[in-house]
Amino acid sequence: MPFVQSSGAAIYWKLEGAEGALALVLLNSIGTDMDLWDAALPALRARFRLLRIDTRGHGASAAPDGDYSLPMLAGDVFAVMDAAGVAQAAVAGVSLGGMIAMQMTLDAPDRVSALVPVCTSATMDSAAWDARIAKVRGEGMASIADLAMGRFLSPEYMDAQPAMATTVRRALIGMAAAGYAGCGAAIRDMAIAARLGEIRVPTLVVIGTRDTSTPYEGHGEHLIGGIAGAQHVALEAAHLVPIEAPELLASAIANFLHG
């Protein structure tokens, strides 16, 4: 299994797809891992050289105690890119992954060829995240499972696909509380809203029409308005678009990056 050491943590990654294809980094949301993208992989693998990463604190990556930061998480991705021999890539990230992708573009714009923030934001309610971090550290992952699942997937999807909903919930509860809390601190403390105008790479903002966590109003609209030339697409899905609308998301990404 490929791991790279970054800022005191082992970060797990996978590289697949054609050697000469455009490199595309896929980043997960808080509370999931690289498997978030599984249903979209067949369509994406045919068009891109895919680099998937378990964000620090998630999946097979290490989950050190303490607060993480977006620059730290962006640094983890750059370390993985170095280990994989990927000098530059397009980056698509869901929720926290989209925040990391934007931070990467700000920190090292020469390494990001294009940006696809999916169901994400440049600003969140810091007090709400502070409370969630304290709850997870004090009571464990099960204490926020209902809240998270209510935002991850739409009721329509969970009714139609109960087995997948159970799988997502089980993975959420089974993850390290330290990892969730550490990444929660990165969301709470992010400082990218005032810097959106510095992002100059081609950008496609993906909105979930059923997303109650980072909807267009108050979140997506600010990314579209703040990033010069940003395009956007709205897909019928809740927060975890790669699960609810994988084919539509893969098509939107491919059309944008190859269009």
Of all residues in the chain, the percent with pLDDT exceeding 70 is: 100
The pLDDT of 63-75, averaged and rounded, is: 98
The pLDDT of 211-219, averaged and rounded, is: 96
**pLDDT for residue 215 is more than 70:** yes
Domain count, the chain: 1
The pLDDT of 69-78, averaged and rounded, is: 98
Report residue 75: phi and psi, to 5°. -60, -35
For residue 1, what pLDDT is reported? 58
Q: What is the pLDDT of residues 104-137, one digit of tens each?
A: 999 999 999 999 999 999 999 999 999 999 999 9
Q: Which domain holds residue 220?
A: 3-258
Q: What is the pLDDT of residues 20-65, one digit of tens each?
A: 999 999 999 999 999 999 999 999 999 999 999 999 999 999 999 9
Q: What is the pTM of this model?
A: 0.97
* CATH at 249: 3.40.50.1820
> Which stretches of the chain are DSSP H helices?
41-45, 70-84, 96-107, 126-139, 145-152, 155-160, 162-174, 177-188, 221-226, 241-244, 246-258
For residue 259, what pLDDT is reported? 80
**pLDDT for residue 19 is more than 90:** no
Report residue 48: phi and psi, to 5°. -140, 160
